[in-house]
């Protein structure tokens, strides 16, 4: 069938192994969702769910599969007032020993609560140029060179509905 994308709904158990195997077949742009407290916890949850598949893969093999299959973790959080928002974007940058290495690219910093009781704050670049930047350029996405400089990207506050 040669699909261009593989999109898998929320993984909750042993099917995470099937997800990783599908994502490691050379299809670019795969995506799934998992519930976790932060990007690092998402990787741990995937690791734990793979172990639920009943196969006795060594931990380092599971982590290598995760590192190979995933490039970016987009973390959504429920903020004060109940709204969900992208709160962190992290890139998987490889492994050091048996540890999957992440680097934050963007994050949301809550600065207070607006008049309607919702979180307000700023999106911030973390000052790290993602390793995937060259690949994005090759695919035709020319991003401003200063996009990743450590700074506030956008204020989110009263009346903006975000």
Q: Output the pTM of the full model.
A: 0.87
Domain containing 55 equals: 1-70
Kindly provide the b/e burial profile for residues 70-92, where b requires at least 16 CB atoms within 10 angstroms of the residue's own CB: bbebebeeebeeeeebebbbbbb
Q: What is the dihedral of CA 35, 36, 37, 39, to 10 degrees?
A: -120
User: What is the spatial distance between Cα 105 and Cα 72, in angstroms, rounded to a whole number?
Assistant: 10
Contact 92, 104 (CB under 8 A): no
Q: Is the pLDDT of residue 122 over 60?
A: yes
42 and 97 share one domain: no
Last-in-domain residue among 46, 70, 94: 70
Same domain? For 63 and 79 the reply is no
Same domain? For 156 and 80 the reply is yes
Please tell me whether residues 14 and 57 are part of one structural domain. yes
What number of H helices and E strands is found in the chain? 4, 7
Which of 5-9, 93-97, 137-141 has the highest average model confidence (pLDDT)?
A: 93-97
Q: Binning pLDDT at 50, 70 and 90, where does residue 161 land?
A: very low
Over residues 44-69, mean pLDDT: 95
Co-location of 111 and 64 in the same domain: no
Q: Do 134 and 85 reside in the same domain of the chain?
A: yes
pLDDT of residue 162: 47
Distance, in Å, from the CA atom of 118 to the CA atom of 157, rounded to the nearest integer, reads: 8
Judgement on whether residues 147 and 79 belong to the same structural domain of the protein: yes
pLDDT of residue 29: 83
- Say if residue 108 is in the same domain as residue 137: yes
Number of structural domains the chain divides into = 2
pLDDT at 76 over 60: yes
Domain end point (choices 70, 94, 121) = 70
- The answer, yes or no, to whether residue 160 has pLDDT greater than 90, is no
90 and 100 Cβ atoms separated by less than 8 Å: no
pLDDT at 14 over 80: yes
pLDDT average, residue stretch 19-39: 91
Mean pLDDT of 40-58: 95
Tell how strand 99-113 and strand 119-125 pair up: antiparallel
4 and 49 in contact (C-beta within 8 Å)?
A: no
Long-range contacts of 106-112 (CB under 8 A, 24+ apart): 106/153, 108/77, 108/156, 110/79, 110/80
Q: Can you read off the two tokens belonging to residue 136?
A: 């994005």
Please report which confidence band the pLDDT of residue 1 belongs to, taking 50, 70 and 90 as the band edges. Answer: low
> Do 95 and 33 fall within a single domain?
no
Whether residue 159 has pLDDT greater than 90:
no
Q: How far is CA 63 from the centre of its chain?
A: 16
Percentage of the chain exceeding pLDDT 90: 74
Last residue of a domain, one of 70, 104, 119: 70
The mean predicted confidence, pLDDT, of the chain is 90
């Amino acid at each position: 069938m040669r699909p261009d994308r593989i999109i898998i709904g929320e993984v909750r158990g042993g099917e995470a192994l099937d997800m990783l195997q599908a994502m490691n077949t050379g299809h670019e742009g795969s995506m799934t969702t998992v519930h976790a407290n932060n990007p690092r916890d998402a990787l741990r949850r995937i690791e734990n769910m793979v172990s639920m598949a009943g196969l006795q893969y060594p931990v380092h093999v599971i982590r290598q599969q995760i590192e190979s299959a995933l490039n970016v973790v987009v973390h959504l959080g429920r903020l004060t007032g109940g709204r969900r928002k992208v709160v962190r974007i992290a890139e998987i940058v490889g492994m050091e020993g048996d540890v999957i290495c992440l680097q934050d690219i963007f994050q949301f910093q809550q600065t207070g609560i607006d008049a309607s009781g919702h979180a307000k704050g700023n999106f911030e670049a973390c000052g790290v140029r993602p390793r995937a930047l060259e690949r994005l350029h090759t695919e035709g996405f020319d991003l401003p060179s200063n996009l990743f400089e450590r700074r506030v990207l956008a204020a989110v506050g009263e009346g903006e509905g975000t």
